[in-house]
């Protein structure tokens, strides 16, 4: 399937998610190409008169939301998010996710955790029987001593740990951290791995989203499939 075809499936899932947004809601706005379709659709709703406020998970999403006329909540306030909508890099049969391909995992996890409902929107190619393998697990770490942190992660996972770079220099997140991509062949116990990784000094957050999905919407050639999930 071409990337253009996959993009139309992402869009269909994103548009379905937007149906859950009601007048007056505070919406967590994810990051990435799937989330972009959602922000554009919300912009249309706002221009049609719907009152919404958004909590963006990246500067890129914030800029797009502003351009679309979506009011944004000052992120220094204690917000109450009614629904957060975001994409994912992989989804397993238990609705656990790998996120962070775009490097926004920290804000994305904060927003997902504080939302009353977390809706995940993907195309069918993101579904996998087990996390890992084709997609590395992103881990956001403090730049100070990142090499030692990487060594600790390697000794825990026995997998290759690669400092993410962009244009030949270390990729820096919006919070000023760096990302280590861990090439795990398979993640059989994501919850235990998340806990163990978060115990390593220097680790800020991992791209494992375990037991956080409330609803999974999957764009397929036969339409959008809907899978309600239970937070665990």
At its nearest, how many Å lie between ligand 5RP and the CB of residue 51?
26
Bridge partners of 117?
83
Question: Tokens 């764009």 identify what position?
Answer: 219
What is the C-alpha to C-alpha distance for residues 163 and 180, in angstroms, rounded to an integer? 5
What is the C-alpha to C-alpha distance for residues 179 and 172, in angstroms, rounded to an integer? 7
Region of 82-90, 129-137, 164-172, 174-182 interacting with ligand 5RP (CB under 6 A): 82-90
Complex with ligand 5RP: residue 152 or 209, whichever CB lies closer: 209
Assigned token pair, 49: 């008169």
Q: Which of 19, 44, 60, 108 is catalytic?
A: 108
Region of 60-68, 95-103, 175-183, 210-218 interacting with ligand 5RP (CB under 6 A): 95-103
CB neighbour list of residue 98: distance below 8 Å, 6 or more residues apart: 88, 89, 90, 131, 132, 135, 137, 138, 187, 207, 208, 209
Using rule CB under 6 A, residue 60 touches ligand 5RP: no
At its nearest, how many Å lie between ligand 5RP and the CB of residue 108?
6
Using rule CB under 6 A, residue 87 touches ligand 5RP: yes
Which of 43, 100, 190, 219 binds ligand 5RP (CB under 6 A)? It is 100
Complex with ligand 5RP: residue 52 or 91, whichever CB lies closer: 91
Residue 24's region, left for phi above 0, alpha for psi from -120 to 50, else beta, is left
Using rule CB under 6 A, residue 99 touches ligand 5RP: yes
Bridge partners of 121?
217
Using rule CB under 6 A, residue 108 touches ligand 5RP: yes
At its nearest, how many Å lie between ligand 5RP and the CB of residue 98?
8
- The dihedral built from the CA positions of residue 199, 202, 204 and 206, taken in this order, carries a sign that is negative
What is the C-alpha to C-alpha distance for residues 52 and 21, in angstroms, rounded to an integer? 9
- Ordered DSSP codes for 107-176: HHHHHHHHEEEEEEEEEGGGB-SSBSTTSPEEEEE-STTHHHHHHHHHHHH-SEEEE-EETTEE-B-TTS
Taking residues 25 to 44 in sequence order and writing x for each that binds ligand 5RP by CB under 6 A, - otherwise, the string is -----xxxxx----------
Complex with ligand 5RP: residue 84 or 152, whichever CB lies closer: 84
Residue 205 is among the residues annotated as catalytic for this protein: no
Number of residues interacting with ligand 5RP: please give it, by CB under 6 A: 17
The residues assigned a catalytic role are 108
The binding site for ligand 5RP (CB under 6 A) comprises 30-34, 86-89, 99-105, 108
């Amino acid at each position: 399937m071409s990337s253009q075809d996959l993009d139309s499936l992402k869009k269909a899932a994103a548009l379905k998610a937007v149906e859950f947004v009601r007048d007056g809601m505070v919406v967590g706005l994810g990051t990435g190409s799937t989330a972009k379709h959602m922000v554009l659709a919300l912009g249309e709703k706002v221009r049609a008169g719907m009152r919404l406020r958004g909590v963006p998970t990246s500067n890129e999403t914030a800029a797009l939301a502003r351009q679309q006329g979506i009011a944004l909540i000052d992120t220094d306030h204690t917000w109450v998010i009614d629904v957060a909508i975001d994409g994912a890099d992989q989804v397993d049969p238990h609705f656990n996710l790998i996120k962070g391909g775009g490097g926004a995992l920290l804000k994305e996890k904060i927003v997902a955790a504080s939302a009353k409902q977390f809706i995940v929107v993907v195309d069918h190619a993101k579904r996998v029987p087990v996390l890992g393998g084709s997609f590395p697990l992103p881990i956001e770490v403090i730049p100070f001593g990142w090499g030692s942190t990487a060594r600790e992660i390697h000794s825990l996972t026995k997998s290759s740990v690669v400092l993410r770079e962009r244009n030949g220099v270390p990729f820096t997140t919006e919070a000023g951290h760096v990302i280590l991509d861990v090439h795990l062949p398979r993640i059989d116990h994501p919850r235990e791995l998340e806990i163990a990784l978060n115990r390593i000094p220097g680790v800020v957050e991992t791209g494992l989203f375990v037991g956080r999905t409330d609803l999974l919407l999957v764009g397929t050639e036969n339409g959008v499939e809907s899978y309600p999930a239970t937070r665990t």
